[in-house]
Amino acid sequence: MKFFIDTADIGEIRDLGKSGLLDGVTTNPSLIAKTGRPLFDALAEICAALPGPVSAEVTATEAEGMVAEGRALAAIAANIAVKVPLTWDGLEACRRLRADGTMVNVTLCFSSAQALLAAKAGASFVSPFIGRLDDIGQDGLGLIRDIRAIYRQYPDSIATQVLVASVRGPLQVVESAKLGADIATVPPKVLRQLVQHPLTDKGLAAFLDDWARTGQTILKQAAAE
């Protein structure tokens, strides 16, 4: 599974990017607004910091406006993925932007029928919002299961990647991976939580205590050789 980070905070992106574990970034108007920076400046810096896809969302609601905004966003950097909503106009814009060779992330997906249309429109990514479905008593992970089942039926004609969004915790990431989702986009907090386990911390502390009692250090040993 690939990991995208769901933030526009360049500090977080650079810090987590040092791990080499990040494959991309997703932003939206709300996340950009939190930075207090001009949109194009923020996106250009993010694209330069990480070579993977960087989703940048249009704000127009009609196809013509989405295409115009999408082309302007795509001109920022080669790794921009234009984000359009899963509406009729969004699907039209998706097809036209994909014809330009632009990556497109069709977002706000809440049903397998919508995901089928996104694939038909040639979307590079479709973003099912599983957390928001869970919030209203529906089965977010069940949607991922259904989308993967549909896409598997057409391996020669569907290249759309399932990008799990609105992730609330590590368990949703793991379950999405078990279902075969291609990507999970997660807030920085959730990405850091994936590495945490109390037994890891306890075991490391015990190893280090045992080693400290020897009075040795690896680098001093190496220098003495």
Q: How far apart, in Å, do the first and last CA atoms of the chain sit? A: 42
Report the residue count for the chain. Answer: 225
CA distance 190 to 195: 9
Say which of 2, 18, 34, 83 is annotated catalytic.
83
Rounded to 5 degrees, what are φ and ψ at 97? -70, -35
CA distance 160 to 157: 9
Helical H segments across the chain, by residue range: 10-17, 29-35, 39-49, 63-74, 88-99, 112-120, 130-135, 140-152, 170-178, 188-193, 198-212, 218-224
**CA–CA–CA angle 155, 160, 165 (5° rounding):** 130
* Nearest of 10, 93, 99 to residue 57 by alpha carbon: 93
Kind of pairing between the strands at 54-57 and 161-164: unpaired
DSSP state of 129: B
Q: Is 120 a catalytic residue?
A: no
Dihedral of CA atoms 122, 124, 126, 127 in degrees, nearest 10, equals: -150
Task: Give the active site residues.
Answer: 83
